[in-house]
Structure 1
């Protein structure tokens, strides 16, 4: 997309007053977690299955609402926005402040190998990976074991502690450490209460399968958006917002699923070009982008179809070849492209 096209569309989508929909969905999802726990304690097979289904739906939406909070699109009040972000993040086990810092850097430096934290983390992992580890990763990918998402969550927990150990004494890092400790204290409190009521097994049986399901959903929802998009050269100054359609992909819109389950998370191009828009405005922005597009529209697949097709492919052929810096026979590594494809 050209700058002029982007500016013309932007006029219709300036910074807007935040509507209460995201806060209401957040409250509803927390209530659903409570309802799921009640169903789980009914101690009947159908109730247990319903509890997993309800809790899985709620956790996925809480992850997406936390994503909204990282962009400050939940509410006009920054305090309320962050309360919602922390509340959602605590349920899903992902520290909000670290996630917010990294995700905003991802948007500012999309496709950059160093300044985009997502790419930097992938490159660091692939650079030291042995052939044995590569084969193990391929097996986990083939069998839908969500190790990429699990490593993503773990990396966010470790980041502020690693920064502290490296000498970071900034206010930002101290705040991240403080909230990480608050989260951990909350988890410890739940653990002690469950232990004193002899309900640890009950709690683990309810929550752990749902959390693993969340990790699988995080991979399924996120990987299509930048798969097979090349990364920039290390000296690249970064892409402008109107250039990011060249390294971002949409997934197909599926009735009910896309709007009411994943909160339009599939409309990733519109999200990258207009990151200040809340989820309920993305369909209009996406339609405006489609109207301005010249030529044929690129093929889009739903998240499920993308996964079913690509889990049969080697992970390195899907995305890893843009991150793999290990030396190959003949001393040739994998090059970084100078610019994204359009």
Structure 2
């Protein structure tokens, strides 16, 4: 691993070469949210009031799932302040965008904006970082899981993508809720209870069969899409003592039309350099990074990144490598010997 630099070090060298408008909010992004919101409300209403054939309900469930994910990506953008800057409006719009995912804006800003972005891939302080070998030995359930064959673990892990965001969001609620002062804590609790009350109320109103297509299946689909991105953001990168986005973050590539639907969420290294910049301008940031530090920049297609995740374990060994503890198999991480085109394994001595 080359010498680590802070995200501010990189940002200071790139900022002068970017247009002034790149650092301004872009309210026009809300039109995309309006489209997603219209699709969501129309699809739920259609499932609710019309007795459709099951395959049409399945099709609408997929449309809803993709829309839940899409508006969730916009919510992420909004709550970083890159769409609107007025705090109350940012929080209201963020709450609406994350409503299908049942995650409140106040918790999200604490968990994601503050803790994750400030401490990215730090072994102890990043709430999204995976376990080190030392932490592995302190968690009995992980010892049991890693006795299973890797192909089986990967199958279970990828299947659980459909639940992971929701489960992790609830974990973050219980992790951080006590850190808020009493008044703020009440807001965090309210922002959790209201979305869930809405969806449970819908269940009572329309019955389980229609609710399955109107919310549950879409939520599982949205979870899978979100985690397909989130799992590749950092999990192939090393743990680091310095928050260096070129070392600890991966940008994935997807077709252009997917970037349009997902608000450029694929540009994740760029996002960690300029989290408050609207993703509309991330292609310009990417160009500047590759011009200056092409050997430090990590970029894979989303498919290749997911395939590499499938073939490697998720326990860190000495921060820079990944290890399958029971087999003593050690793999590199990005920038530290991991070649996604030819994954090599060495035996722990």
Gaps of 5+ in 2: 338-349
1: distance between equivalents of 2:84 and 2:267?
21
Q: Distance in 1 between matches of 2:95 and 2:251?
A: 28
Which residue in the other structure is 2:344 paired with? none
Shift in alpha-carbon separation, 1:130–1:160, aligned structure 2, 3 A = closer
Distance 2:58 2:98 in 1: 24
| Cα separation, partners in 2 of 1:298 and 1:108, compared to 1, 3 Å | closer
- Farther-moved stretch of structure 1 (38-47 vs 120-129): 120-129
SS at match of 1:251: strand
Q: Distance in 1 between matches of 2:175 and 2:12?
A: 41
1:223 aligns with 2:228: no
Superimposed CA distance per residue, residues 227-257 of structure 1 (whole angstroms, 9 cap, x where no aligned partner): 321113xxx4x33xxx321221111242211
Does the 8 Å CA contact 2:250/2:269 hold for their aligned counterparts? Answer: yes
The answer to which structure has the higher strand fraction is 2
Counterpart in 2 of 1:9?
Answer: 14
**Which whole-Å deviations, capped at 9, do the CAs of 1:103-126 have from their partners, x for residues lacking one?**
122111122111211127788677
What pairs up with 1:1-342 in 2 under 5 angstroms?
6-11=11-16, 12=18, 16-41=23-48, 42=50, 43-104=52-113, 105-119=115-129, 127-128=138-139, 129-134=141-146, 135=148, 139=152, 141-142=154-155, 145-147=158-160, 150-161=163-174, 168=178, 170-171=180-181, 174-192=183-201, 194-195=203-204, 197-232=205-240, 236=241, 238-239=242-243, 243-258=244-259, 260-294=260-294, 300-307=299-306, 309-310=307-308, 312-313=310-311, 315-316=312-313, 319-322=314-317
Q: TM (normalized to structure 1)?
A: 0.78
* Cα distance in 2, alignment partners of residues 223 and 177 from structure 1: 31
Q: Distance in 1 between matches of 2:186 and 2:149?
A: 33
Measure the CA separation in 1 of the matches of 2:308 and 2:212: 32
Q: 1:226 to 1:158 in 2, by over 3 A?
A: closer
How many residue pairs are counted as aligned between the two chains?
321
Report Cα offsets for 1:194-232 as digits up to 9, x if no partner.
42x453331123321111111211221112221321113
Deviation for aligned residue 1:83: 0.9
Do the aligned partners of 1:146 and 1:215 also contact (CA within 8 Å) in 2? no
Which SS does the other structure have where 1:321 is aligned? strand
**Distance apart, 1:144 and its partner CA:** 5.9
Q: Is the 8 A contact 2:132 2:316 kept in 1?
A: no
CA distance in 1 between partners of 2:105 and 2:150 (Å): 27
**Contact map agreement 1:111 1:230 (CA 8 A) in 2:** yes
Question: Deviations 1:56-92 (Å, cap 9, x if unpaired)?
Answer: 2211112211211331212021211111111122211
